[in-house]
Amino acid sequence: MVFKPFHPPHIYLDNTIYFITARTRDKWKYFNTDRRKLLINNILKSVIKQYDLQLYAWVILANHYHLLIKIKSNNQLIRFIKSFHGQSAISLNKIDKIPGRKIWVNYWDHCIRDEKDFWRHFNYIHHNPVKHKCVTLINDYKFSSYREYLEKNGEEWLGSCFRLYPIIDFTPQDL
């Protein structure tokens, strides 16, 4: 079966943790300032709360984001994505005075299979700003959940996560 790029089939399961990735249209760096990243971060937190999802890890970069979230019911994920993408596009378009502009391409999801899969995606998310050369040290990047875990659990705990579950590149090639 052949699927169009960024129109992959989605499997929605109850009580499941998902790794979610979405990028901007044409890889345009719409979120290239701290102010714009803060905007999308605030919208993300609001929509997560609205849909009562559990957010385990997140990162926002200039042209894409990654999330590790748990949904309770299978219809939550698509509604969450539509709301998050819709609200963030409307807000950005209002700032730029370009109504109706498409910001997001469809998203890619992956059902987390086991504990090892969870922690490897957790580490991948937090390492992403280094991978994309936004920073040289993970802790220097403001728009991810890494600092929250650093404050809550400490550097030793995070270091053990990276040692026990090395990073694997999970990103689709065309992100």
Residue 9 placed within a domain: no
CA distance 57 to 22: 15
Per-10-residue mean pLDDT for the chain, 175 residues long?
Answer: 58 88 96 97 98 98 98 92 98 97 93 96 96 95 97 96 84 49
Domain range holding 140? 16-164
* CATH code of the domain containing 63: 3.30.70.1290
Residue 26 placed within a domain: yes
Residue 5 placed within a domain: no
Per the structure block, which two tokens stand in for 167? 């990073």
pLDDT of residue 171: 54
Residue 97 placed within a domain: yes
Give the DSSP H/E element, type plus range, for residue 104: strand 104-111
Residue 69 placed within a domain: yes
CA distance 32 to 28: 9
pLDDT of residue 7: 58
- Distance, C-alpha 27 to centroid of its chain: 15
Residue 113 placed within a domain: yes
Residue 10 placed within a domain: no
pTM of the model: 0.89
CA distance 175 to 173: 6
Residue 39 placed within a domain: yes
CA distance 40 to 45: 9
Contact (CB, 8 A) for 129 and 138: yes
**Which DSSP string do the residues of 27-94 spell out, in sequence order?**
G--TT-SHHHHHHHHHHHHHHHHHTT-EEEEEEE-SSEEEEEEEESSTTHHHHHHHHHHHHHHHHHHH
pLDDT of residue 63: 97
pLDDT of residue 175: 45
| Domain count along the chain | 1
